[in-house]
Every structure is written in structure tokens, then in C-alpha cells.
């Protein structure tokens, strides 16, 4: 069914919303206030034509926008884009009963994303098409760091050698770190060695196993250099890691002891240890081992005690949380079990970093219900042109 309608609002996934006969229709690439012609199927609307564009509509900077699903917001002007991202943070908090305003919106795209996963399929290599399971073949991606400029070509070459695969790239000081995932049982790693040499890769791994390492993939974190484990987590941009670390360091002053929970490879712990002892824990044993190695070779750091511990199933209890400050940077699921223990601990300062606004709001509500005050709520825009946002907030105990 083809209809003409006016878009009423923008949903949290960046899609225009129009109400027809009391039901919501979601229209990718449409903006609030626009009169559009669209094809409707179920609760989805395919944009056919913009009859009256919004004053907030701008020309996208990438010719793949609208077909490639990697970006959702390139057509939205700067002020409206910022307001949309801020609402992504504030709205879930309000729904959780917390009225809080973002104090700062920090652009953190830097030189582009240093991490990306491209899909190699029969139709090419790139991100999935908008609302599709088909891949949009890319020749270039302007939201990536220049060090990843050859990523589409490398992913295509890997697809030719192995068949269908997901190819993750990380730009490091030593070159590109490439990790391949494929369901093909007959995948032959020896086919990949010439590709690693041809593209000058620092490291190449297949299904979690090393195929070739020309150089250890290294990243700098404060005074330390960390050798990344295969498939380890890293903030999407170097600029975001620096900005988040600066926030954390300022928020915990003048704490004399700090616990860094969900520490990963140590982007916060290694910087925090420049001034005070740090306890660091994460369920990822390889990440904890990498942090510990980096700590041993870095100069001028206070002691770091790094432990592998599943903080979802075995959180630090209120009796173990004998620290002046605690930093949490959990994955998308949040840190509910650990937050419940923190709420009973009396820790003076809790700094929470989050990549999912809903789980953040849930965990923040646990702390505020225990009397903790939320302050300095900041949005970091490292996932530029997408509907994701990084969040940082400080919680102070009632006794402060």
C-alpha cells in the first residue's frame, strides 16, 4: 500500500514514525515534520519520496548512505543530531524514574573508528543493507580511521579464499589486527597466509586461533603498551578512549584506592595506577592477562592487582568493596548484580561507563534508590552517525 503521510517523530533507532489508524509505522531515512510518500507493509514503511523535506535534512557525506545499514543519521543536521543523541540518554532514565540532564555532549569520533566488522558474502564485503540480511558491497567507508581504508578489499579477498565470513579489524600501532569468524567447517587457514603477507597484516586469526603474527598488535594506554588478545574489546575510537579516561581520572580524584570492574585490557586501570593502587577484575581471562603483562613492563605505575572474575555471577560483595572509588565499564547487558552490591557497600564514588542506555538506566535506578546522587552525566559520541551513544556518570554516596 502506497500512502502520503507526515512524519510525527524520530524513534530511538533513527527511524521516522507515522501513526496510521492508531498503529505506528517506522520509516527509515525520514525525519519529523516531513511529508512523504511511502510503501507500507506491516509496521514498516519504505520511503518512496520526500514531498516536503524537514529544515533539519542535510545531504549525506557518503554515497552509500541509504543502502548501507552502517549509518542511520547522516541526513540529520548537527543540532538535531546532538539533540537526538542526548535524548537517547535522558529518555530511558526518565522512564526509570530519574530526572537527569546531560551536562556535556562530547564529539569523540576522532579520526574515525579503529575497529570494524565487515561481512564477506557472495555479493561482496561490507555492512548489512538497511533492514536486510544482504550485504552492501563497499569500496570505502568514511567513518573508519584511515588505517582501515583497505578493510573492504581485505574482507573481499578473505571471502574469496574462505567463503562466507565475518571479518573484524582493529588498527593498532603495529598494523592491522584481523580476526575472522566463519561457520565453514572446511575452512583452510593455510589459504590465508598469502593474504596476510600481501596486505602486510600485523596478525591474522581464524575462529579464535592464530594463523600468522608478523608483529604483536599493540595499543598505548597511558604510560603502558598493551598487546591485544585475539578478539579483545577496545573502544571504537582512540579519541573516545582518551576522553572517557579523562572523565574517569577527574571523577575519582582524590581517591587513594580504586577498583576497576569490567576492566578489559586496562584502558582505565593502567591510567588510574599512575597515582594510586588499583584492583582490576574482568571475566575475560585473556584480557586480564594482557593487562597484567602491560603493568609489568610499564614504568612508574602503582601496584595493579588484576584478577579474572565473572562479575555477573560472582560480583564483588559489599564486604569486599573496601575502596574509595569504583569504576564500572560493563558490556551492553550492564552490571545489575554488581550494582546491587555497590548500592549496599557505602563506596563514596562510583563512576559508571555504559554503551547501552536502557541497562544504564536500570543500574542507575538501583544506585539512586539506595541514596546515591547522580551527577555529571555526559554523552560521548564515538559511534558517529549511528543510533548508539556512550555514557558516563558519577554517583556519590549519601554520606558524601
At 134-152, the pLDDT tens digits run 999 999 999 999 999 999 9
Is domain 1-56 in CATH 1.10.3720.10, yes or no? no
Contact 282, 288 (CB under 8 A): yes
Residues near 87 by Cβ (< 8 Å), separated by ≥ 6? none
355 is catalytic: yes
Spatial distance between the Cα atoms of 236 and 331, rounded to a whole number of angstroms: 13
DSSP 174-201: TEEEEEEE---TT--GGGGHHHHHHHT-
**Alpha carbon separation from 264 to 5, 110, 221, 231 (Å, rounded):** 48, 22, 12, 12
* 214, three cell numbers: 608478523
- Quote the pLDDT of residue 130: 84
The answer to whether 381 and 88 are in contact (CB under 8 A) is no
83-109+234-396: CATH architecture: 3-Layer(aba) Sandwich (3.40)
Write out pLDDT tens, residues 188-207: 888 899 999 999 999 999 99
Q: Provide the pLDDT for residue 133.
A: 87
Low-confidence stretches of the chain (pLDDT beneath 70): none
pLDDT of residue 184: 77
| pLDDT score of 260 | 98
Position 399 scores a pLDDT of 80
Question: pTM of this prediction?
Answer: 0.95
- Cβ within 8 Å of residue 131, ≥6 positions away: 28, 44, 69
Q: Where in the chain are the domains? A: 1-56, 83-109+234-396, 115-218
Note the Cα 293 to chain centre separation in Å.
25
Output the pLDDT for position 172.
Answer: 98
CA 348 to chain CA centroid, Å, is 28
pLDDT of residue 314: 98
Q: In this predicted model, what pLDDT tens digit does every residue of 299-349 receive, in sequence order?
A: 999 999 999 999 999 999 999 999 999 999 999 999 999 999 999 999 999
What is the reported pLDDT for 179? 97
What is the reported pLDDT for 185?
75
d(CA 114, CA 2) in angstroms, rounded, equals 41
Q: In this structure, which topology does domain 115-218 adopt according to CATH?
A: OB fold (Dihydrolipoamide Acetyltransferase, E2P) (2.40.50)
Q: How high is the pLDDT of residue 87?
A: 98
pLDDT of the residue at 134: 94
pLDDT of amino acid 222: 97
pLDDT on residue 37: 97
CA 381 to chain centre: 10
pLDDT of residue 131: 79
DSSP sequence for 117-130: EEEEETTEEESBBT
What distance separates the 2 farthest-apart alpha carbons in the chain?
A: 67
| The two domains 1-56 and 83-109+234-396 share their CATH topology (first three levels equal) | no
Amino acid at each position: 500500500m502506497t500512502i502520503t503521510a507526515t512524519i510525527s517523530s524520530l524513534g530511538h533507532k533513527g527511524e521516522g514514525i507515522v501513526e496510521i489508524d492508531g498503529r505506528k509505522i517506522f520509516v527509515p531515512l525520514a525525519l519529523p515534520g516531513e511529508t512523504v510518500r511511502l510503501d507500507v507493509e506491516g509496521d514498516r514503511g519504505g520511503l518512496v519520496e520526500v514531498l516536503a523535506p524537514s529544515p533539519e535534512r542535510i545531504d549525506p557525506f557518503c554515497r552509500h548512505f541509504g543502502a548501507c545499514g552502517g549509518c542511520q543519521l547522516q541526513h540529520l543536521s548537527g543540532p538535531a543530531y546532538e539533540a537526538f543523541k542526548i535524548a537517547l540518554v535522558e529518555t530511558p532514565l526518565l522512564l526509570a524514574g530519574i530526572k537527569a540532564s546531560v551536562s556535556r555532549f562530547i564529539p569523540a569520533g576522532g579520526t574515525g573508528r579503529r575497529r570494524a566488522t565487515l561481512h564477506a558474502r557472495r555479493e561482496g564485503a561490507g555492512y548489512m543493507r538497511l533492514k536486510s540480511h544482504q550485504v552492501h558491497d563497499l569500496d570505502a567507508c568514511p567513518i573508519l580511521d584511515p588505517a582501515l581504508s583497505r578493510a573492504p578489499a581485505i574482507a573481499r579477498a578473505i571471502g574469496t579464499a574462505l567463503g562466507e565470513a565475518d571479518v573484524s579489524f582493529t588498527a593498532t600501532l603495529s598494523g592491522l589486527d584481523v580476526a575472522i569468524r566463519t561457520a565453514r567447517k572446511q575452512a583452510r587457514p593455510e589459504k590465508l597466509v598469502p593474504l596476510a603477507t600481501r596486505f602486510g597484516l600485523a596478525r591474522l586469526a581464524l575462529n579464535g586461533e592464530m594463523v600468522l603474527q608478523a608483529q604483536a598488535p599493540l595499543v598505548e594506554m597511558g604510560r603502558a603498551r598493551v598487546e591485544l588478545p585475539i578478539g579483545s574489546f577496545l573502544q571504537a575510537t582512540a579519541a573516545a578512549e582518551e576522553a572517557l579516561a579523562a572523565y574517569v581520572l577527574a571523577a575519582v580524584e582524590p581517591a587513594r584506592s580504586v577498583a576497576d570492574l569490567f576492566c578489559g585490557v586496562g584502558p582505565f586501570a593502567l591510567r588510574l595506577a599512575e597515582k594510586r593502587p588499583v584492583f582490576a577484575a574482568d571475566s575475560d581471562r585473556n584480557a586480564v592477562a594482557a593487562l597484567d603483562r602491560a603493568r609489568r613492563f610499564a614504568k612508574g605505575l602503582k601496584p595493579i592487582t588484576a584478577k579474572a572474575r565473572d562479575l555477573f555471577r560472582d560480583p564483588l560483595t559489599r564486604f569486599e568493596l573496601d575502596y574509595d572509588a569504583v569504576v564500572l565499564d560493563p558490556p551492553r547487558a550492564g552490571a545489575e548484580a554488581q550494582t546491587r552490591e555497590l548500592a549496599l557497600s557505602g563506596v563514596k564514588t562510583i563512576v559508571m561507563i555504559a554503551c547501552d542506555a536502557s541497562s544504564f538506566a536500570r543500574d542507575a535506578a538501583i544506585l539512586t534508590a539506595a541514596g546515591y546522587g547522580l551527577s555529571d552525566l555526559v554523552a560521548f559520541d564515538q559511534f558517529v552517525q549511528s543510533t548508539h551513544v556512550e555514557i558516563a556518570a558519577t554517583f556519590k554516596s549519601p554520606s558524601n
